[in-house]
Amino acid sequence: MQIGGTTTNPTAATASAATPARDPSLEKAAKAFEAIFLRQMIGAMRSSSLSEGIFDSSATDQFRDMADARTADQMAQTGKFGIAELLMRQFGATASPTAAVAMKPQVAIAPDQGNEP
């Protein structure tokens, strides 16, 4: 029986060593998806406004939308929401180059054996 906080967890050490390398294109796509999701969320929050401001115009709305898009992009780059991380975990195993080769269909057409109904 070991008691103390200085013992190491062998499963945690092997789990961190076994993490696969990240696919940069998958990471880029996951972060882009997170940015789009955050843009939609911010847009929905903006549209829930109950009244119009005295200085509201189409130009103000356009600049506000551009600022919201930039904010969403910056929020996605920080990774604080974790949406991109979850997407990379979910699709990382299926999107790896070795998995793509393994998933390639291997179809062999056998010559007709003369089996007619």
Are the beta carbons of 31 and 84 closer than 8 angstroms? Answer: yes
Q: Answer whether residue 106 is part of any domain.
A: no
Q: Answer whether residue 63 is part of any domain.
A: yes
Q: Answer whether residue 80 is part of any domain.
A: yes
Q: Answer whether residue 40 is part of any domain.
A: yes
- Quote the number of domains for the chain: 1
- Residues 66-83: pLDDT tens digits? 999 999 999 998 888 899
pLDDT profile of the chain (117 residues), mean per 10: 49 48 86 93 83 76 90 90 90 63 54 57
The pLDDT, as a whole number, for residue 95 is 56
Q: Answer whether residue 111 is part of any domain.
A: no
The phi and psi torsions of 6 (rounded to 5 degrees) equal: -100, 0
Q: Answer whether residue 74 is part of any domain.
A: yes
Domain that holds residue 75: 22-47+54-94
Q: Answer whether residue 100 is part of any domain.
A: no
